[in-house]
């Protein structure tokens, strides 16, 4: 393997994408990840002065001029990343005017970054305004949260409360709730920009009939958000057709959890 493939953050992306694949969240080329990286993290592993290719961006992000991102490649399979990071990932540096990405490493068989790049850069931009340590955007197609959007109202407050009520940990892990966008054509600048608006105020965004995107300070944190949302949705999908008497985590119980853990919940949602 080349040197950059041995860089710790590249290895971590390989491990996490293998887990995501095995959980059934990322079939074929489904899903994409971007990680904002510091030059210090990568410069021992790659020559950052050498630009391999220039890749145009449909929307300019001048605020990211000179910043580096590792991004999964378009059409690439999560299951293959760990064995061949250089073909399936790319390291890009955003150009001075923000309208292009200089490819520094990766995409060795050709191709480019994920088709959802506008959503990724838009999400990084908005989350960084809230949290300067934010560096991960992770998109996947987990079966249960996706299934839930087939049978549940497309209402983010109702969806959040239903997820909170499934499993006691949900409100502890995502007290800020889950945003939702109605169905839109994927990979378009429109869905990218609409998503970025949601990320001003949320760390988790469900795309109806498509999947879910999460953000975080680390790959582990983003992964943990996604698996907790997916766990809640799995419980919902398992119990929703039962004719048995139902128990649920009612508002009073949620309030007791919140008080006990001293958590601040999204204003007006509980
Ligand atoms: O990368 O998941 O949303 C394929 C997708 C598009
Ligand atoms: Zn997708």
- 62-89: per-residue pLDDT in tens? 999 999 999 999 999 999 999 999 999 9
Assess whether 227 carries a catalytic annotation.
Answer: no
Whole-number mean pLDDT of the chain?
Answer: 98
Q: How far is CA 89 from the centre of its chain?
A: 16
Instruction: For residue range 224-251, list pLDDT tens digits in order.
Output: 999 999 999 999 999 999 999 999 999 9
**Model confidence at 189, in pLDDT bands (50, 70, 90)?**
very high
- pLDDT of 175: 98
Q: What is the mean pLDDT of residues 147-163?
A: 98
Give the pLDDT band of residue 61 (cuts 50, 70, 90).
Answer: very high
Q: What average pLDDT does this structure show over 33-44?
A: 98
Which pLDDT score, from 0 to 100, does residue 4 have? Answer: 98
Q: Is the pTM for the entire model greater than 0.85?
A: yes
Which atom of ligand 1 is least distant from the CA of 72? 1
In angstroms, how far is CA 65 from the centroid of its own chain?
22
Predicted confidence band of residue 1 (pLDDT cuts 50, 70, 90): confident
C-beta 187 within 6 A of ligand 1: yes
Quick check: 106 and 53 in contact, CB under 8 A? Answer: no
Check residue 260 and give its pLDDT: 97
Q: What region, left, alpha or beta, does residue 200 occupy, with left being phi > 0 and alpha being psi -120 to 50 degrees?
A: alpha
What phi and psi, each to the nearest 5 degrees, are found at residue 92? Answer: -120, 150
Return d(Cα 23, Cα 21) in angstroms, integer.
Answer: 5
Could you tell me if the CB of 29 is within 6 A of ligand 1? yes
* Residue of 87, 116, 227, 234 marked active site: 116
Region 2-7: what's the mean pLDDT? 98
User: Is 32 close to ligand 1, i.e. is its CB under 6 Å away?
Assistant: yes
Domains of the chain, CATH where assigned: 1-115 (3.40.225.10), 118-135+142-240+248-270 (3.40.225.10)
Determine how β-strand 179-181 pairs with β-strand 204-207: parallel
* Cα gap 60→73, rounded to integer Å: 19
Query: Does the pLDDT value for residue 6 go beyond 90?
Result: yes
- Under 8 Å between Cβ of 100 and 54: yes
Q: Is 154 helix (H, G, I), strand (E, B) or coil?
A: coil
Q: Hey, what are 114's tokens?
A: 């994920």
């Amino acid at each position: 393997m080349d040197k950059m493939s041995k860089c710790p953050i590249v290895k971590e992306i390989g491990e996490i994408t293998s887990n995501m694949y095995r959980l059934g969240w990322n079939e074929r080329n489904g899903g994409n990840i971007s990680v904002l990286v510091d030059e210090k993290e990568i410069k021992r592993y790659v020559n950052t002065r050498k630009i391999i290719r220039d890749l145009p961006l449909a929307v300019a992000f001048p605020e990211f001029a000179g910043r580096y991102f590792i991004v999964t490649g378009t059409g690439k399979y999560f299951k293959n990343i760990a064995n061949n990071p250089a073909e399936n990932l790319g390291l890009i540096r955003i150009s001075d005017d923000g309208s292009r990405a200089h490819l520094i490493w990766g995409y060795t068989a050709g191709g480019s970054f994920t088709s959802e790049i506008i959503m990724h850069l838009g999400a990084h931009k908005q989350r960084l305004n809230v949290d300067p340590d934010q560096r991960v955007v992770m998109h996947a197609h987990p079966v249960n949260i996706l299934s839930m959007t087939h049978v549940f109202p497309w209402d983010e407050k109702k969806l959040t409360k239903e997820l909170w009520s499934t499993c006691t940990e949900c409100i502890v892990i995502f007290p800020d709730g889950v945003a939702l966008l109605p169905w839109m054509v994927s990979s378009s600048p429109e869905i990218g920009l609409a998503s970025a608006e949601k990320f001003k105020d949320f760390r988790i965004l469900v795309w109806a009939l498509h999947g879910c995107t999460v953000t975080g300070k680390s790959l582990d944190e983003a992964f943990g958000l996604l698996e907790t949302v997916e766990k809640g949705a799995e419980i919902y999908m398992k119990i929703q057709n039962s004719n048995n008497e139902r128990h649920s985590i009612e508002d009073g119980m949620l309030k007791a959890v919140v008080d006990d853990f001293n958590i601040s919940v999204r204003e007006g949602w509980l």
